[in-house]
Amino acid sequence: MDNNINNEIEYRIVNGNDVNNINTHSYFAALKIKGYDVPFCGGSYVGKNIVITAAHCLDVGLKASDLVVQFKKENITDPGIEYQVNRILIHPNFNINTLNNDIAIIFLNGKPWQNGIKKLLLPTFDIKKNLYKVGKKCVILGYGYTSENGYNSFKLQRADIKIISKNSPLNFYQPGSITKNMVLAGDFANLDNPNDNKDACSGDSGGPMFTWFNKKRYLNGLVSWGYGCAVDLYPGVYTKVGNYRRWIRNNAKV
């Protein structure tokens, strides 16, 4: 990891596609600060009144009363279905310098399932290995930037990526920078074409990386960090949600 990591990390979806039917991804949560239209981070609804997101989205002095969470947004300015936030809980061992344990829980003031919001399933111990196999196909979602120095997408973006081993020749991160609580994923379609890579970046932080197992969708990652955006040999780094199942259950009862 670069010593100056906080000046290097970017978070947005590049080379994705528009989501035209928002109901297919109703679990996607857009995090917004009151008084602003554009979401600053993403999250995932996992049942009851609980949204899971990245700790670095909230570890900036935000209070619960500053936040609004939106579901089923037809576009970036559409309010969709809004919820106020009762409480936020950042993982006690979150490290802002290394971004280890980059996970947080948001407690909403209502239960989104009552408005038809579907949940993403959380990994369980018995299927955890299946969700993180090298080459496993995953999906990322977000309203973030669509190019390195671009702008937020007007519509929710989706991109298909794959799990990459930290020992892969496609991984150029410095040894030790990828902890056991992180997982790499990306899509380097053609290393001779640096403009065709799929990745997550600015505005996508905390959003879901999900995969399928037995025809069900599981939240196996959270957009966390990466070097640049869609840069060859620097895949996206995601919080490994499967490592936090007990912590989530103990604190959120889901």
The answer to whether 205 is a known catalytic residue is yes
Ranges of beta strands (E only) in the chain are: 17-18, 28-33, 41-47, 50-53, 67-71, 81-90, 104-108, 137-142, 157-164, 182-186, 208-213, 216-225, 236-240
Catalytic residue (one of 26, 177, 202, 205): 205
| 123: DSSP letter | P
Beta strands at 137-142 and 67-71: parallel, antiparallel or unpaired:
unpaired
SS3 (DSSP) at 61: coil
Has 18 been annotated as catalytic?
Answer: no
Instruction: Please report, as a single letter, which amino acid is at residue 140.
Output: I
The answer to whether residues 245 and 122 touch, using CB atoms and an 8 Å cutoff, is yes
Catalytic residue among 26, 44, 91, 102: 102
| Triad 135, 219, 95: Cα angle to 5° | 95
Query: Phi and psi (nearest 5°) for 185?
Result: -155, 150
Selected catalytic residue, list 25, 26, 44, 56 = 56
Token pair 């990526």 in the structure block, residue: 161
Residue from 178, 177, 236, 234 nearest 206 by CA: 236
- 104/84 Cα distance (integer angstroms): 16
Supply the DSSP symbol for 14: B
What are the residues facing 114 on neighbouring strands?
none
* SS3 assignment, position 24: helix
- Catalytic machinery residues: 56, 102, 205
